[in-house]
Amino acid sequence: MRSLLLRALIEGPAVIDRPEPDSASVSELARALADRFRQRLGRSLAIREVDAGSCNGCELEIHALNNPVYDVERFGIKFVASPRHADVLLVTGPVTWNMRQALERTYAATPEPKWVVAAGDCAKNCGVFAGSYACVGPVSAVLPVDLHIPGCPPEPLDILKGLLALIEASSA
Amino acid sequence: MMAAPAIEIAELAGGKTAGLDGFHRIKVKERTWHELAAGCAAGHQDLGGMWFDSGAIQMLLFSEQQKMRAIVALAARSGVYPSVGCYHAPAIRLERALRDIHGTDPQGLPDARAWLDHGVWPSAAPSQKSGKRPARNYEFLSAEGNGLHQIPVGPVHAGIIEPGHFRFTANGETIVRLEERLGYAHKGIEALCKGADIDRAARLAARISGDSTVAYSFAFARAIEAALGWPVPRRAEFLRGIMAELERLANHINDVGAICNDASVVVLHARCAHLREQILQVSKSCFGHRLMMDCIVPGGVSCDLAPEGRGAIEQLLKHCAKQFEAVVHVYEEAPSLQDRTVTTGIVRPALAAQFAAGGYVGRASGRKFDTRAIFPYAPYGLLKFDMAGRSEGDVDARLMVRVDEVRSSIDLIRQMLELLERGPIRGPAPALKAGEGAAMIEGFRGDIFIRLRLDKHGRLAHFHARDPSWFQWPMLEAAIEGNIVADFPLCNKSFNCSYSGHDM
Ligand code: SF4
């Protein structure tokens, strides 16, 4: 263990620099947040992730945000265990009928003000699963979505840029 | 249990030659179906999946001793057939799922409850013609006794995890029963594949379980190649193997870290997560996608490895080998970690054998099965590796099997880079025609099985995929019994079953 810690000292940090917020996201958010709850987040985001039926590819990349390379906590972004503690629901997957109620309840349990970010192509338009008897539709068919982050799956950097845009827009 | 003499598939398939894909195909009458099911229960062969196609109920049976795999079909026009689950418990969930999706009627199935259909789809699954739908309320199995209480968890969990429901019945801190309820991620993939062309179906197959996207694409490609007689160039075979081992490496390393995290040794988690990130970045630089999604295609691979890519992989392996050994060293030297993992969540070897539990779950409980070794497919026939194995069946054993597999994956990739010759990366597409193909691929989690049938236009007339999780989820229920609630996350992580792969 000591050698691991020692090596960490010698090698220096693994983190990347802060990326620029995604500009397309900024404009989508500017619209979404125009009159809503500006300056409420204090430049931090508590995120509750909800898998509404994804293939788990999106989860892998969301997980990666916490690794030492992206280390999102340094930007005030934190994943929380309960929707009661969350500002943002980060939702993935086409919403399956079997998950619909759980998603709605999670949203209801999240205190105002709250934002919904739909991550991945599936969350945006059901991706390859469009047209299935088992899927309700994209996240926007069930909840009001403030920001879409496309990609299959979106890379951690894309997700990070989107979330940073959310912080910028809401504290502008 | 009903009484029927138990027979072995070898008795039926013996002497006959298997199809090009290595699977025997046998049509049976009802009596033989009973006897084969009884043969599974008697341990003569393993059950590897069940599906319904062309008015016949079909199952995959295989025997590692006989090195034999057979697809057995029983005509069942109306969907009524004798249940396998009433002989052999591992079939029960498969049959419940088939009943939801196809309206099949397994006579004698001991569990009347639906499995994937939670009663909320606006209409029944398209292939389910009976129109019968389950009620919305699901009855969990009961547990009675003084002082018992229930803890419902999910489908939305505390972490960044897939959806599923766990119903714990506990006595104080001790779990007396865990019952899983799955199906939340059901996306109707089999129905979406029906009528789809090969390209679209390949994209769907790659998205059955994102963490195993390479393995699923690999299995899909091989099944299509078997159906159409599509030759795969040698270079593509090695590139497939390299991608498959990179995927295994990334997942195993990540999960080793995650298990340590659940035992509160966060520094190992950070180390492993960093290593995984590096593997994903190299995968992207070599093959254009961090998870290598859609990189394996029928006929070969969609992207070639550039000479710089080869160097990057060699570098990565060197780095991984060194860093990962440092992690393992800490694990082995930390009594506080072992204290959590040793003797926690034991899967008995007999149970792993009965369920033919694949991957590290089986191999940690004495089941010597790895598709790469038992039913080798290209390129593994040309490579050398030792199958990992333990017999303790606890969290520690599952972790150590993965540790050994990380080591062997590194070695396998090195062998493949050595053998990689120049040449085309995709075979010429053959004329489309009707056909059938099956494939079994060892994903990081265990054996993935795909069976498909093409119509004369080369569109999918039937598609079935069986994730290894089908036979691992039930092991988790058994493993956690008698453990404390606080050890569940640790135990669950050591399984890391797929929800999406199971729910489809
Ligand atoms: S967007 Fe892609 S990675 Fe994400 S859930 Fe959908 S298929 Fe999976």
Whole-angstrom distance, CA of residue B358 vs CA of residue B446: 5
**CB of A55 sitting under 6 A from ligand 1:** yes
The residue of B207, B212, B328, B338 whose CB has the most chain A CBs within 10 angstroms, and thus the best one to mutate to test that interface, is B207
Other beta carbons less than 10 A from residue B179's beta carbon = 16
Query: Taking residues B406-428, what's their average pLDDT?
Result: 97
Q: B151-157 contacts: CB < 8 A, separation 24 or more?
A: B151/B485, B155/A99, B155/A102, B155/B184, B156/A50, B156/A83, B156/A102, B156/A103, B156/A106
Pick from A45-59, A63-77, B182-196, B246-260: least confident: A63-77
The pLDDT tens digits for B259-315 are 999 998 899 999 999 999 999 999 999 999 999 999 999 999 999 999 999 999 999
**CB of A121 sitting under 6 A from ligand 1:** yes
Angle, helix B266-287 to helix B234-262, in steps of 10 degrees: 160
pLDDT of residue B1: 47
Mutate to test the pocket of ligand 1, among A49, A50, A51, A58 (most ligand atoms within 8 A of CB): A58
Instruction: Collect all residues of chain B within an 8 Å Cβ-Cβ radius of residue A7.
Output: 326
Angle, helix B488-495 to helix B395-419, in steps of 10 degrees: 30
Query: Taking residues B119-148, what's their average pLDDT?
Result: 87
Query: Taking residues B478-496, what's their average pLDDT?
Result: 94
Cross-strand pairs, B80: B105
Q: Which candidate from A50, A67, A69 shows the least CB-CB separation from B156? A: A50
Q: Which candidate from A82, A97, A128 shows the least CB-CB separation from B203? A: A128
The pLDDT tens digits for B350-368 are 999 999 999 999 999 999 9
Residues 6+ apart with CB under 8 A from A23: A165
**How far does the CA of residue B267 sit from the closest CA of chain A (Å)?**
8
Confidence bin at B103 (pLDDT 50/70/90): very high
Three-state secondary-structure class, residue A113: coil
pLDDT of residue B455: 97
The pLDDT tens digits for A8-33 are 667 777 888 888 887 777 667 656 55
Query: Does residue B145 carry a pLDDT above 90?
Result: no
Let me know: does A148 contact A116? Beta carbons within 8 Å: no
A133 contact B CB<8A: yes
pLDDT of residue B16: 81
Confidence bin at A37 (pLDDT 50/70/90): very low
Q: Global pTM? A: 0.95
A134 contact B CB<8A: yes
Query: Does residue B3 carry a pLDDT above 90?
Result: no
pLDDT of residue B236: 98
Q: Write phi, then psi, for A7 (nearest 5 degrees).
A: -60, -35
pLDDT of residue A38: 47
pLDDT of residue A97: 98
Using CA atoms of A55, A61, A66, A69 in order, give the dihedral in degrees to the nearest 10.
160
pLDDT of residue A41: 57
Confidence bin at B26 (pLDDT 50/70/90): very high
pLDDT of residue A26: 65
Strands B56-63 and B68-75: antiparallel
**CB of B293 sitting under 6 A from ligand 1:** no
pLDDT of residue B132: 80
**CB of A127 sitting under 6 A from ligand 1:** yes
Cα R_g (chain A), whole angstroms: 17
The pLDDT tens digits for B58-73 are 999 999 988 999 999 9
pLDDT of residue A76: 87
A53 contact B CB<8A: yes
Query: Does residue B154 carry a pLDDT above 80?
Result: yes
Let me know: does B286 contact B295? Beta carbons within 8 Å: no
Q: Report the separation in Å between the CA atom of B329 and the middle of ligand 1, taken as the mean of its atom positions.
A: 36
What is the DSSP code (8-state) at residue B485? Answer: G
Contact A4 B271 (CB under 8 A): yes
- Which pair of structure tokens corresponds to residue A159? 């997700």
Contact A69 B277 (CB under 8 A): yes
Whole-angstrom distance, CA of residue B405 vs CA of residue B228: 33
Instruction: Collect all residues of chain B within an 8 Å Cβ-Cβ radius of residue A60.
Output: 210-211, 291
Whole-angstrom distance, CA of residue B473 vs CA of residue B98: 17
pLDDT of residue A40: 57
What ipTM does this complex have? 0.94
Percent of chain B residues topping a pLDDT of 90? 88
Strands B300-301 and B165-171: unpaired
The pLDDT tens digits for B30-47 are 999 999 999 999 999 999
End-to-end CA distance of chain B: 30
Query: Does residue A117 carry a pLDDT above 70?
Result: yes
Query: Does residue B74 carry a pLDDT above 60?
Result: yes
Percent of chain A residues topping a pLDDT of 90? 65
Q: Report the separation in Å between the CA atom of B10 and the middle of ligand 1, taken as the mean of its atom positions.
A: 41
